[in-house]
Amino acid sequence: MDLDAIREYSALHAKPNGLVLQYGTAGFRTKAEHLDHVMFRMGLLAVLRSKQTKSTIGVMVTASHNPEEDNGVKLVDPLGEMLAPSWEEHATCLANAEEHEMPRMLMDISVKAAVNLQQDAFVVIGRDTRPSSKKLSQSVIDGVTVLEGQFHDYGLLTTPQLHYMVYCRNTSGQYGKATIEGYYEKLSKAFMELTKQAFCSGDEYRSLKVDCANGIGALKLREMEHYISQGLAVQLFNDGTKGKLNHLCGADFVKSHQKPPQGMEMKSNERCCSFDGDADRIVYYYLDVDGHFHLIDGDKIATLISSFLKELLLEIGESLNIGVVQTAYANGSSTRYLEEVMKVPVYCTKTGVKHLHHKAQEFDIGVYFEANGHGTVLFSKAAETKIKLAKELEDKKREAAKMLENVIDLFNQAAGDAISDMLVIEAILILKGLTVQQWDALYTDLPNRQLKVKIADRQVISTTDAERQVVTPPGLQEAINDLVKKYKLSRAFVRPSGTEDIVRVYAEADSQENADSLAHAVSLAVFQLAGGVGETPRPGF
Ligand code: 16G
Ligand code: MG
């Protein structure tokens, strides 16, 4: 390690004194102007991680659904997974070291993590469309270069596309070609093959309206359009030519406000969906004939997909175990439907893709989705082998096995991916001849409400049981229990956000009015028992 060169280059990406940031649920995330040193240092860290794992490591520059002025960075581990927890700690230490301590911190990390500094390193880099992203990704490259790592800059990519590239490169191309064309070819081929047996691909299935949140999803869907145009015509809205990224549009806006994005022309009963700013989330929705808005969130996506997979497994006669993984935010109706009607086991983990992903790996087929639209399906190697063998069986089984193989190819197994999820959903709707209303009618969501509460130190709230129960401060869980008892079909929980300096409150109940009133009462309890600051939460939204 050339410590003098590191010092010299680091000074060009100097850390503002006293700034402390945390590698959170989805990496570092804050105002773009505070991130230059973090980017440089993450370039350095990616080189160490690459040397240690003897694999290609990814660095993605994005702040996903957050405002355009923000930015962020996260590292992608060799199999396209989120960074290992011990390295999240290294990332936090390195990002927060004051300028003069930084080279020593880098050495400390290499020693602690037993990095062989002689090993070669390779880093791939992607970025979203934010105005700040280009310069920030250049700072990542500076960090990689000063440690003499090699790199490939993919430029503009969705987050899941970068995960895909990392996975391809570390499996010697077995998973697919590590190029943008490779990604489009793999997905579109699986989509076209899967849908070609469909009897009813009439006009109502041909066209889909997509709100791209004025982000990278628009650019990439446009590039992909002609690969899939025979099966699906996508009509893009909020494509970044006019509006601001994530502003009044995108999956996060639609899910949290439970209303259509601006800039989208919706007619009744038309199938529409929204991506978020880096295209790793998707939610669907439509307006009914009375103009009422219906949201189809990650829970209903998981339900559609798992029922389709269950049917195919029945056809091939293989006893592969399938499990659905959700978080506490999953609507109670979805959990009940999956367990009681579909007889699929459901598990709950903490919020954040890495937790769901980890749990889903325990099954032959693990379906995981957060209610907010992050998710995918993971197939174990054993499941892939059994499905491959089933192709040798008699006709009907062979067909089902072939379809399952295409489903495996369609899902980006490295990460939840709005584009690949969209293609799977569209294929299932076509194959089953389901309209968006029929899909929505699988079950009725319980009315729910999410609120934010500002408190002095959100760390005073600790939780257990996959964030469904509060442990500290004392008395808060008892207060929530008493409030929940006052309503029917009710449930509520609170958790400190991993991405914002606030506490999140979730409540559901038999009517919207009751869900709203329970959410407000719980917010008050948090405010009073956990050190609320500013104005006392008021009823009404
Ligand atoms: C991040 C997570 C997302 C989670 C959200 C929760 C990833 C890639 N993203 O965006 O899964 O739902 O944080 O945010 O893991 P919160 O902690 O502020 O509620
Ligand atoms: Mg995102």
Please name the residue whose Cα sits nearest to atom 19 of ligand 1: 497
Atom number in ligand 1 closest to CA 374: 11
Say which residue, 390 or 419, is predicted with more confidence. Answer: 419
Does the annotation flag 333 for ligand binding?
no
Q: Pairing between strand 207-211 and 233-237?
A: parallel
Q: Pairing between strand 491-496 and 503-508?
A: antiparallel
- For the segment 226-253, the average pLDDT, to the nearest whole number, is 96
* The pLDDT of residue 204: 63
| pLDDT(200) > 80 | no
Does the annotation flag 278 for ligand binding?
yes
Q: In angstroms, what is the C-alpha Rg of the chain? A: 23
For 179, residues 6+ apart whose C-beta sits below 8 A from its C-beta are none
* The pLDDT of residue 540: 77
Q: pLDDT-derived band of residue 396, with 50, 70 and 90 as boundaries?
A: confident
Q: pLDDT-derived band of residue 392, with 50, 70 and 90 as boundaries?
A: confident
* The pLDDT of residue 199: 59
For residue 423, report the distance from its CA to the centre of ligand 2, in Å. 18
Does the annotation flag 276 for ligand binding?
yes
- List, edge to edge, every strand of the sheet that includes 448-453: 448-453, 503-508, 491-496
Rounded to whole angstroms, how far apart are CA atoms 155 and 102? 28
Give me the percent of the chain exceeding a pLDDT of 70: 99
Rounded to whole angstroms, how far apart are CA atoms 3 and 176? 38
Atom number in ligand 1 closest to CA 372: 12
Are 107 and 1 spatial neighbours (Cβ–Cβ below 8 Å)? Answer: yes
* The pLDDT of residue 318: 80
Catalytic residue among 10, 50, 64, 420: 64
For residue 316, report the distance from its CA to the centre of ligand 1, in Å. 36
* The pLDDT of residue 125: 98
- For the segment 459-464, the average pLDDT, to the nearest whole number, is 97
Q: pLDDT-derived band of residue 393, with 50, 70 and 90 as boundaries?
A: confident
List pLDDT tens digits, range 326-349: 999 999 999 999 999 999 999 999
Q: Is 463 in the pocket of ligand 1 (CB under 6 A)?
A: no
Three-class SS of residue 424? helix
Q: Which among 320, 222, 211, 314 is positioned nearest to 272, based on CA atoms?
A: 211
CA distances from 410 to 195, 420, 427, 452 (A): 12, 6, 10, 36
- For the segment 203-211, the average pLDDT, to the nearest whole number, is 85
* The pLDDT of residue 314: 93
Question: pTM, whole model, 2 decimals?
Answer: 0.96
Q: Is 370 in the pocket of ligand 1 (CB under 6 A)?
A: yes
Q: pLDDT-derived band of residue 291, with 50, 70 and 90 as boundaries?
A: very high
- For the segment 158-170, the average pLDDT, to the nearest whole number, is 98
Residue 65 region by backbone torsions, left for phi larger than 0, else alpha for psi between -120 and 50, else beta: alpha
Q: pLDDT-derived band of residue 165, with 50, 70 and 90 as boundaries?
A: very high
Interaxial angle between packed helices 159-170 and 418-432, expressed in degrees from 0 to 180 and rounded to the nearest 10: 90
| pLDDT(479) > 60 | yes
Q: Is 500 in the pocket of ligand 1 (CB under 6 A)?
A: yes
| pLDDT(37) > 60 | yes
374: exposed, middle or buried (Cβ count in 10 Å: 0-12, 13-18, 19+): buried
Are 508 and 332 spatial neighbours (Cβ–Cβ below 8 Å)? Answer: yes
Q: Where are the alpha helices (DSSP H) in 337-434?
A: 353-360, 381-390, 395-410, 418-432
Question: Is position 64 annotated as part of the catalytic site?
Answer: yes
* The pLDDT of residue 18: 87
List pLDDT tens digits, range 240-270: 999 999 999 999 999 999 999 999 999 999 9
Rounded to whole angstroms, how far apart are CA atoms 443 and 434? 14
Ligand closest to CA 213? 2
Asked whether the bond before 473 is cis by omega within 30 degrees of 0, the reply is yes
Which range (98-112, 186-200, 247-261, 474-488) has the least confidence? 186-200
CA distances from 378 to 76, 81, 170, 206, 411 (A): 17, 12, 18, 27, 8
| pLDDT(197) > 70 | yes
Rounded to whole angstroms, how far apart are CA atoms 83 and 12? 27
Ligand closest to CA 501? 1
For residue 253, report the distance from its CA to the centre of ligand 1, in Å. 14
CA atoms within 13 A on the CB side of 147: 32
